[in-house]
Structure 1
Amino acid sequence: MNECQHCGGLTFKKDKIMSGGNPELFLIPEEEMKNFFSKSIGNSLWADMCLNCGTLNRIYVSTEDLEKYKKKLRK
């Protein structure tokens, strides 16, 4: 069962937190962000947000963008 690690809440909402063309989160180092995310609206970052406290529980990214980032890390 999903449980918020911050408050113990059990109710989450899956919500888009970043569109593919506008990377503004700091989950990836800033120097790695440039040209990382696809311009397609479909390639966006989503998260399960706790409706009790607002903490992000789980982050989702498209497989295409994840593979692209893994290749950059291997260089």
Structure 2
Amino acid sequence: MAGERNTNQPATQGASQSLDQFKYEIANELGVQLGGDRTSRENGSVGGMMTKRMIQFAEENLKRGTRI
């Protein structure tokens, strides 16, 4: 809801800074300027691409037998 505070927490302590950096890298690649004045489609495209890349990373590591 509008005005509510985001309470999502990363599963690993200290990951917030890395995830934030990753978010802005993806936004830059997609040519999206993040912010509250942007559409949910624009902001959501960044989250969707982040998820896609994290799943791809995990799948590649599982194939190699590498622990994440």
Structures share fold, TM-score greater than 0.5 = no
Greater fraction of residues in strand? 1
Instruction: Give TM-score, length-normalised by structure 2.
Output: 0.32
Instruction: Give TM-score, length-normalised by structure 1.
Output: 0.30
